[in-house]
Structure 1
């Protein structure tokens, strides 16, 4: 095992150099890596470690008798959750400061949805009957547990990051229940008129239904016998607000001044107040909000190209080539080199802060002022973004 830690310092009181600075490289098999609390939490098949950043020094190491598969970090509660496999899967919580074990339990048929704000949300069972459970992340004690039908939809997206105050579950026959993330109480319920169909290739079939939740609105996109519609509902209570006929169908996402409706073939911007089409971009298959007035979009090529679009008009502002968005960062690859760009507050444009060679850019993660990426050479490296 080779461990290299590099810290470029200009003296105790000197400011950090602007750019992209390598601070750590771990040259051995890594199964999972997470950034948080100014540290890198890293798993090899047989142990979990914490490295201080930007120093790159190892704070602690906790061995595992089972093969470590994945890590999650709850900065607020100071917990590292470890999924390990062997004679049956297990979940183990470690104290983030010391690496000490807090609790462990079997994890067969368990999906970790989120670890955040002192709570661990999991799902057991799949299909039309599943159980959601929220446990205290430090003690493992159950806070609440409830059966739901998530066959049609389980969200919103913020739930998977632990940032949502509610959980929305939609069953295959249209039953809807809205739960409090904190205590599992029922905030609202109702029934949607739908018949969910899915396809393995992500294309949109002739009869199609999609449920999306954006903010405090639920959107039902349908195509039935060639007739398309998009309906908006308030979540609490579940009540229809408007319905637009004949427009696009697909998944609905927040795109600032518009809602983006994408079916993987093209993306359409619609008015959030009534569903009227504002613009249509047939060259781009999907788009997401980048900031208050720009969207990050991918095209439909096998090696997808990206661009920044104007949210209000759908106009292309800046082609980005083969790129990936990580929060405010945009990673753009050109051959073996990956360029890291950030928003420039002075100009509003993008500024390149540095580049990485042989980084597996499609597997990078960002957290705080750091970027962690496996490389094509086999090591896992961390850079500080200033």
Structure 2
């Protein structure tokens, strides 16, 4: 059954603010006024009346689209303003701008995650049997037409249009990055392989920056601690080194500040080392404290662990700032969020200035909405009154506190945001798209 589009009247969501007249008025008294007072008051009232009759501002949240979906049906938002939702084996594409249905396409099996890359929707059904490969089907993001189907899982490289076919290794570190057997470059138009790099055992795959003429390359860190950089155009090996023993995974090593940062143990304690992503030559090594993760913090790199967050210069490892109460940071486009509070390690502290570690917007009690947000701001939600009320607000570095937009309907959750749009799922089975507008 195709997803149903429901177009309804514009709904104004009340913020729940108190309204009405004051309880008391002062009793009128007799007074004498000059002759010129009445004409002036008439002019003031005319001006006030014309201002009051102007069109009211649009509501903070305006419904654009609502459809019926199942509780486990996947949906995703794309960078070009498209909502993709799958229900009962039917994949549908909607325009986030006006809510109109763009196309529908059937699939043999439902999937549990929708991914896109190089103008394609990549569908890989879930298989409960690890010995059965369900393959990947590519559907055109423009019109929903079927393009090709092939075995294996398809992954993308950040910053590159290259598609790579891999055989995943089941692990807790995340799909598509720990691979085995081989890595094959896939032609997005045909699905055919253009080159193959063998992986004798297992390896961690990630993208790394290269020279201007080849901005991105593929890094394979094999389980024998051999790291190799490959050209994405041909698959040719460009550099190979032996790395220190470490807990390798999708989050180790990581890219930050144009360098490859690796956490690894030594006889003197935990260290973090920086490597050139082009030559794989080591640049520097410094103590990592008890850091369990390395992530980007604007132009800096942040080491996060149970002993706090340290921001370091990627170029030379110099410590810039240290916050012992924090436990992690997260980069959202050009914004950086800090986490860790007395209530829990995953509670947001606020939006921070990554250069200094200062909190610019307090997010205590709020939760960031998944997705890209607006680039210069995030959407956040807060539940009060034992879950009876959920508020949505805008958080931006230029405000000390989030700017309240509206209340969400009861039972709303599983939200994602893109610029000017908020999409949420309700417990009743509806998926709703709202247009949101910042005040001022």
Q: Same fold (TM over 0.5)?
A: yes
Which whole-Å CA distance do the structure 2 matches of 1:355 and 1:118 have between them? 40
Contact preservation (8 Å) 1:5, 1:55: no
Q: Which residue, 72, 97, 110 being the options, matches 2:142?
A: 97
Question: Which whole-Å CA distance do the structure 1 matches of 2:288 and 2:106 have between them?
Answer: 58
CA distance in 1, matches of 2:136, 2:180: 22
Q: Which residue number corresponds to residue 333 of structure 1?
A: 382
Which structure has greater strand proportion?
1
Note closer, same or farther for the CA distance 1:197–1:66 as it changes in structure 2 (3 Å cut): closer
- CA distance in 2 between counterparts of 1:197 and 1:344 reads 35
For 1:120-131, list aligned pairs within 5 A: 120-126=163-169, 129-131=180-182
1:119 shift after superposition: 4.0
For the 8 Å contact 2:103–2:144, the answer to whether it is kept is yes
Q: Does 1:235 align with 2:277?
A: yes
- In the TM superposition, residue 124 of structure 1 has moved relative to its aligned partner by 0.9
> Which deviates the most, 79-88 or 270-279?
79-88
- The reply to whether residue 72 of structure 1 matches residue 124 of structure 2 is no
CA shift in 2, pair 1:229/1:88, >3 Å: closer
Q: Quick check: 2:179–2:204 contact (8 Å CA) kept in 1?
A: no
Q: Does 1:214 align with 2:229?
A: no
Give 1:268 deviation, angstroms. 1.1
- In the alignment, structure 1 segments of 5+ residues that lack a partner are 159-163, 199-208
Out of 41, 46, 53, the residue aligned to residue 96 of structure 2 is 53
Measured against aligned partners, the alpha-carbon deviations of 1:211-236 in whole angstroms (never above 9, x if no partner) come to 22225311122333452322211111
2:311 equivalent among 259, 263, 269? 269
Match of 1:317 among 351, 360, 381: 360
Alignment-derived partner of residue 294 in structure 2: 252
Cα 1:83–1:273 shift into 2, 3 Å: closer
Q: How does 1:1-386 map to 2 (within 5 A)?
A: 3-6=5-8, 8=10, 17=58, 19-29=60-70, 31-36=73-78, 37-74=80-117, 77-85=118-126, 89-107=134-152, 110=153, 112-113=155-156, 119-126=162-169, 129-148=180-199, 153-156=204-207, 165-196=216-247, 210-225=252-267, 227-245=269-287, 247=289, 249-263=291-305, 266-290=308-332, 295-299=336-340, 301-302=343-344, 304-306=346-348, 307-320=350-363, 321-324=365-368, 326-327=371-372, 328=375, 329-335=378-384, 336-343=389-396, 351-358=403-410, 361=413, 363-386=414-437
Are residues 150 and 359 of structure 1, via their aligned partners in 2, closer, same or farther at CA, if it must alter by over 3 Å? Answer: farther
Q: Which 5+ residue runs of structure 2 have no aligned equivalent?
A: 12-54, 170-177, 210-214
Structure-2 change in CA distance of 1:139 and 1:370 (3 Å): farther
Deviation at 1:239, TM superposition (A): 1.0
| Residues 7-62 of structure 1: per-residue CA shift (max 9 Å, x gap) | 759xxxx9x95743221121231622122333222111321112233332323222
Q: Structure 1 pair 93/290, CA: closer, same or farther in 2 (3 Å)?
A: closer
Query: What is the CA-CA distance between 1:210 and the residue it aligns to?
Result: 4.4
Cα deviation, 1:158-179, whole Å, max 9, x if unaligned, reads 9xxxxx7122222233211112
How far is the alpha carbon of 1:63 from its aligned partner?
1.9
Partner Cα distance (2:87, 2:208) in 1: 29
Q: 1:137 to 1:6 in 2, by over 3 A?
A: farther
Q: How many residues align?
A: 360
Cα gap change, 1:72/1:114 in structure 2, threshold over 3 Å: closer, same or farther?
farther
Q: Which residue of 2 aligns with 1:201?
A: none
> Does the CA contact (< 8 Å) of 2:244 and 2:264 recur in 1?
no
With the length of structure 1 as denominator, give the TM-score of the two structures: 0.78
Where 2:108 maps in the other structure, the secondary structure is coil
Is the 2:304–2:329 contact (alpha carbons within 8 Å) kept by the matching residues of 1?
A: yes
Supply the distance in 1 between the matched residues of 2:308 and 2:351 (Cα, whole angstroms).
15
